[in-house]
Chain A
Amino acid sequence: EVQLAESGGNLVQPGGSLRLSCAASGFSISNYWMTWVRQAPGKGLEWVANINPNGAEKYYVDSVKGRITLSRDNAKNAVFLQMNSLRAEDTALYYCARLGLFDGPVSSDYWGRGTQVTVSS
């Protein structure tokens, strides 16, 4: 069974840092683009970042460029989101997802349950 499990969310002060992790099971992430999507309380979905299967290509939404870095460890079957200089507007539930839309033939989408990031003093 394909599963994605996020961790690392927490309450952090403005300007602080967090590292989110996404552990995959039931498939090898080495074959797939992986994505982070976030959802602020009561708001819509926001695409945050994508990383290609070998980690050489990464794309970010403009609002996080220079502050957030996406990486992956295919040997550990995990994806990471390093978040620095956090702002109140980064407060959201962060989902790790295998959207299945970037890999060539479209495959099923899988989502984790999310990890909560709250930026507040």
Chain B
Amino acid sequence: DIQVTQSPSAMSASIGDRVTMTCRASQDISIYLAWFQQKPGKVPKRLIYRASSLESGVPSRFSGSGSGTEFTLTISGLQPEDFATYYCLQHHNYRGTFGQGTKVEIK
């Protein structure tokens, strides 16, 4: 099975900051990676699919990049509603693996 390593596990940031988190896959997954946001007590919400395509309705401050084994989610200009946990999901060959999650907290 493909393993996914997500880092960092947590970060503290201020409103307006630019934050970046990374997922590394154990083998080439092309662009079969998505990013999800989850707030406490809520179901996950997809932000990015195919590594860099922004979900309809998601603010443009969210962006994804990467291919192969290394992927990045960037939030440019953190807003109060962005404090949450973020997960990547690789979905190569109809199987899935989530990253361990990155919790973005208020500094």
Contacts and interface: CB of A to CB of B under 8 A. Distances in A.
A106 B50 contact: yes
B94 A57 contact: yes
A50 B94 contact: yes
Q: Which of B43, B49, B55, B99 is most buried by chain A, counting CB atoms within 10 A of its CB?
A: B43
Interface residues of B, number: 26
Interface string B27-49: 00000101010100001111001
Nearest to A106: B49
Contacts of B97: 47
A106 B89 CA distance: 14
A113 to B, nearest CB: 7
B49 A59 contact: no
B87 interface: yes
A82 to B, nearest CB: 19
A106 B32 CA distance: 11
A45 interface: yes
B96 A47 contact: yes
Contacts of A106: 49-50, 53
A59 B92 CA distance: 12
A111 B91 contact: no
Given A35-B96, A50-B95, A45 B44 contact: yes
Nearest to A33: B94
A45 B94 contact: no
Interface of B: 1, 32, 34, 36, 38, 43-46, 49-50, 53, 55-56, 85, 87, 89, 91, 94-101
24 contacts: A37-B44, A44-B87, A44-B99, A45-B38, A45-B44, A45-B98, A45-B101, A47-B89, A47-B98, A50-B94, A50-B95, A59-B94, A59-B95, A62-B1, A95-B43, A99-B46, A100-B46, A100-B49, A101-B32, A101-B89, A102-B94, A106-B49, A106-B50, A109-B45
Interface of A: 33, 35, 37, 44-47, 50, 52, 57, 59, 61-62, 95, 99-102, 106, 108-109, 111-114
